[in-house]
Structure 1
């Protein structure tokens, strides 16, 4: 029998740690380990009257503050998903949550998801930096692959994945039932060797020099990550 390909050996791989830092600080945003006592009230009020933010989530909207506190308490108690609250460094307000999930240190794979950004933080440098910080932490911790999955009908999430530099890998049809409705899931990922070029693109976008005095960006992150991909 002829030799069959079985994949290259992965040299020097060390099992990375599970997520654990209570705080990841950036220029525009600080990620804080989710704590209902500190985060639930602000975020409930930031989302109040904006039920559409929950359209692609398996939970929410929440009718009362207590309902939301109860959900946050359950979320904060888990190690997978591992939730962070997103605090805008400029205003000091909590404007969203995001998590690591499907955490697989043995294979060096981790996903970023359960991302819920209140309208007050959407389309801001802080919101972009929050996800960038999570990607960076994962690769610096030793993960080989960072995943992003979303409802294939969720056009903003699909666009965001590409903006950060994730590569679309396909759609899993009839992947889930969410609130009794079918969900086809689009899969995206970044590999560690790709982050070697994408990381500097993120840093260039976040640099203070990339923002005009009125706060408008000079270069778009999507352009920077697209160029980085072309250089691979």
Structure 2
């Protein structure tokens, strides 16, 4: 479904126009099937099934810093957390998923597909909230890979977006580590928690994906991890290749 790399095209008025998309059709909405890898399973969020795990895992973040740049949280108590989970579970867009660590069988984080535009083949990953136990783990990286793979390989989307508060340095580093291209700052794009947000935009498009997929899959290979599960080479090394 990629745009053809051709010389500029012109219409009958002499105006430059974009490359044609042959046989383009709207893409499917993401299905509710789980995505499973070697380290994690990404499955639709179920408040009853995942609630205890998520509440316990997020409670380990004592200072609440994981919620600073999120529209929701931190939560005053379990009841408030459960109300948020119920909203997430019932939402179609954003379409929330829980990230389940396969070693422990526990849900340790959430992420969503959002701003889903099947007609245009555009989809965004967002609402990424990782508990301390999930942060900087192979499972966290694999979860992002599984969601990308579904969007591009299974569903045929053309564009996969990542947006965050421009001041959210960890999120911006994560996007760059995963192969997203920085596309600019949208100034005063949002108001949340009573404050301004300038939004940093990142994206991967379908023609970028094969090289990024290869880098991610090479990094995730068992040979790249020692017996304690520590990486031997960083993802950046594979991205450079």
TM-score range, shorter chain: over 0.9
What is the distance in 1 between the residues matched to 2:116 and 2:91? 12
Tell me, which stretches of 5 or more residues in structure 1 are unaligned?
228-232
**TM-score in terms of structure 2 length:** 0.91
CA contact (8 A) 1:16 1:142 kept: yes
Find 1:58's aligned residue among 68, 71, 77: 71
What root-mean-square deviation, in Å, do the aligned CA atoms of Structure 1 and Structure 2 show? Answer: 1.2
Q: Which moved more, 1:180-189 or 1:9-18?
A: 9-18
Regions of 4+ moved over 6 Å:
none
Q: Pick from 171, 180, 187: which aligns with 1:166? A: 180
Matched, 1:103 2:116: yes
How do 1:170-189 and structure 2 match up within 5 A? Answer: 170-189=184-203
Question: Partner of 2:119: helix, strand, or coil?
Answer: helix
What is the DSSP-based 3-state SS (H/G/I as helix, E as strand, rest coil) of the residue aligned with 1:107?
coil
1:110–1:147: 8 Å Cα contact kept in structure 2?
A: yes
Pick from 89, 97, 105: which aligns with 1:76? 89
The structure in which a higher percent of residues are helix is 1
Could you tell me which runs of 5 or more consecutive residues in structure 2 were left unpaired when the two chains were aligned: 1-11
Q: Deviations over 1:22-61 (max 9, x none)?
A: 3111110001110000111211111113411101001111
Deviations 1:90-146 (A, max 9, x none): 111111000000000100000000000000111000011001110110001110000
Q: SS of the residue aligned with 1:209?
A: helix
d(CA) in 1 for partners of 2:198, 2:25:
34
Scaled by the length of structure 1, what TM-score is found?
0.95
**Shift, 1:2, TM fit:** 5.8
CA–CA separation in structure 1 for the residues paired with 2:27 and 2:237: 31
Q: Distance in 1 between matches of 2:92 and 2:32?
A: 12
Equivalent-residue separation in structure 1 for 2:13 and 2:51 (angstroms) = 61
Tell me the distance in 2 between the aligned counterparts of 1:102 and 1:226.
30
Aligned residues: 227
- Residue 210 of structure 2 is aligned to residue 196 of structure 1: yes
Whether 2:49 is the aligned partner of 1:38: answer yes
Provide the C-alpha distance between the structure 2 equivalents of 1:54 and 1:33, rounded to a whole number of angstroms.
21
